């Protein structure tokens, strides 16, 4: 029932997202900053709504109406983020395929044939997943900020991000299963993989490795947000010192200007944080891959999968695929920010 509910809700949000006819200027959505390793730094205590106080009160009473309001009012940002997400996934997909092959210990993993197998399923899963995760992330963040006003916001952002990922995982897991089994050469196309999995294992086959994905994504988000904040703070301190030094050499120049990161600097900090997060969660990523492609052989759980790898391969088995995973994350983040900023600027104009 939970999974069916997730699908119905996500389809509703997609219709609202694509069919909305009016737009307004709002702050860029923090979740896509976060999803590409840029967490929100602005307050989310107020959700953008239309229709006055009565509508705002209704949204407050019904959190799902708040969710719908966020998706509708963020349409322009979501379009830019969807385009950026598609571009980053498509351009870096061959590296992701190589990572999957290495994690499965396939013969000749660097063969050029089939590098884009499963890309359609990945895009179908990732874009709605982004919409679903964004809406729920903002909803959770607003509720937590109102409930715990004296708690450090960064902790609430991190917890909201985890809850958002858990909400979106109901949609993402089937697409990941289909993508990885197609990448591994088990099926020739996304459609064949979908029908084959349903025929062999039914709906539950689309959710094999679900907890392996959760075990990877939750630590990844926490590490991602924390490492980004540390990297950003360090860079801003350096930039602030440079600005103060420059102001001393120019008479009358104000030193009160707020120091911020531009898009390129954010992409660099994000790539650093993303690469670090990808590296330390590489073993969890391999568990997810093996459980989604051959769950029965690895016991069907994260613990049994880890135990089998330890027995058969030793500690080195946990690091397989780490280089392609890190190689995939860093340029993917940079591509995302470049496309996101360009598309959003054109939509603004």
One domain for residues 187 and 324 = no
One domain for residues 109 and 87 = yes
Q: What is the pLDDT of residue 270?
A: 79
Residue 346 counted as domain residue = no
One domain for residues 130 and 201 = yes
For residue 84, the domain's CATH number is: 1.50.40.10
pLDDT of 32 strictly over 50: no
Q: Is 252 exposed, middle or buried (0-12, 13-18, 19+ CB in 10 A)?
A: exposed
One domain for residues 191 and 229 = no
Closest by CA to 287, choosing from 316, 320, 261, is 320
Residue 56 counted as domain residue = no
One domain for residues 114 and 167 = yes
- Domain boundaries, position 288: 219-243+263-341
Tens-place pLDDT, residues 191-227: 899 999 999 989 999 998 888 888 887 888 778 767 8
Instruction: Tell which wins on pLDDT, 170 or 67.
Output: 170
Tens-place pLDDT, residues 171-191: 888 988 998 888 888 888 888
Tens-place pLDDT, residues 77-130: 778 778 888 888 899 899 888 888 888 888 888 888 888 988 887 888 887 887
Q: What is the pLDDT of residue 57?
A: 55
One domain for residues 192 and 314 = no
One domain for residues 175 and 233 = no
- Per cent of the chain over pLDDT 70 is 76
Residue 348 counted as domain residue = no
Residue 331 counted as domain residue = yes
pLDDT of 168 strictly over 70: yes
The encoded tokens of residue 168 equal: 């979106």
One domain for residues 194 and 224 = no
One domain for residues 229 and 171 = no
Q: What is the pLDDT of residue 63?
A: 64
Q: What is the pLDDT of residue 107?
A: 83
Last residue of a domain, one of 208, 230, 251: 208
One domain for residues 164 and 227 = no
Residue 15 counted as domain residue = no
Tens-place pLDDT, residues 226-248: 787 788 888 888 888 888 887 77
Q: What is the pLDDT of residue 311?
A: 93
Residue 152 counted as domain residue = yes
pLDDT of 31 strictly over 50: no
One domain for residues 174 and 288 = no
Query: Cα dist. 132→14, 119, 136, 166, 199 in Å?
Result: 8, 20, 6, 10, 28
Q: How many CB atoms lie within 10 A of CB 16?
A: 18
Contact 274, 335 (CB under 8 A): no
Contacts of 254 (CB under 8 A, 6+ apart): 247
Residue 314 counted as domain residue = yes
Contact 40, 141 (CB under 8 A): yes
pLDDT of 308 strictly over 60: yes
Residue 347 counted as domain residue = no
pLDDT of 265 strictly over 90: no
One domain for residues 202 and 226 = no
Confidence of residue 49 (pLDDT cuts 50, 70, 90): very low
Domain count, the chain: 2
């Amino acid at each position: 029932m939970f999974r069916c509910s997730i699908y119905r809700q996500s389809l509703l949000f997609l219709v609202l997202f694509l069919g909305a006819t009016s737009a307004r200027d709002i702050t860029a959505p923090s979740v896509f900053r976060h999803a590409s390793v840029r967490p929100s730094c602005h307050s989310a205590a107020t959700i953008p709504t239309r229709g006055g106080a009565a509508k705002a009160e209704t949204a407050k009473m019904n959190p799902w109406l708040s969710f719908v309001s966020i998706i509708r009012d963020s349409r322009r940002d979501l379009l830019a983020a969807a385009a950026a997400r598609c571009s980053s996934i498509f351009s870096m997909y061959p590296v992701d395929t190589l990572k999957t092959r290495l994690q499965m210990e396939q013969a000749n993993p660097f063969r050029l044939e089939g590098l884009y197998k499963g890309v359609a399923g990945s895009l179908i899963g990732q874009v709605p997943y982004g919409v679903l995760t964004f809406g729920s992330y903002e909803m959770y963040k607003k509720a937590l900020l109102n409930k715990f006003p004296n708690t450090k916001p960064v902790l609430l952002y991190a917890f909201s991000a985890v809850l958002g990922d858990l909400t979106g995982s109901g949609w993402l897991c089937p697409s990941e299963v289909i993508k990885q089994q197609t990448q591994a050469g088990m099926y020739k196309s996304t459609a064949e993989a979908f029908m084959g999995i349903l025929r062999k294992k039914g709906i539950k086959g689309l959710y094999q490795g679900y907890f392996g994905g959760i075990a990877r994504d939750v630590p990844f988000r926490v590490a991602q947000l924390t490492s980004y904040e540390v990297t950003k703070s360090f860079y801003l301190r350096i930039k602030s010192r440079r600005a103060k030094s420059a102001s001393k050499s120019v008479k009358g120049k104000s030193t009160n200007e707020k120091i911020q990161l531009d898009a390129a600097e954010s992409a660099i900090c994000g790539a650093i944080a993303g690469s670090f997060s990808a590296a330390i969660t590489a073993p969890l990523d391999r568990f997810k891959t093996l459980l989604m492609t051959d769950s029965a052989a690895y016991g069907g759980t994260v613990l049994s999968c880890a135990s089998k790898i330890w027995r058969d391969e030793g500690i080195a088995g946990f690091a397989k695929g780490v280089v392609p995973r890190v190689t995939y994350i860093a340029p993917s983040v940079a591509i995302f920010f470049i496309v996101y900023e360009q598309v959003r600027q054109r939509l603004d104009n």
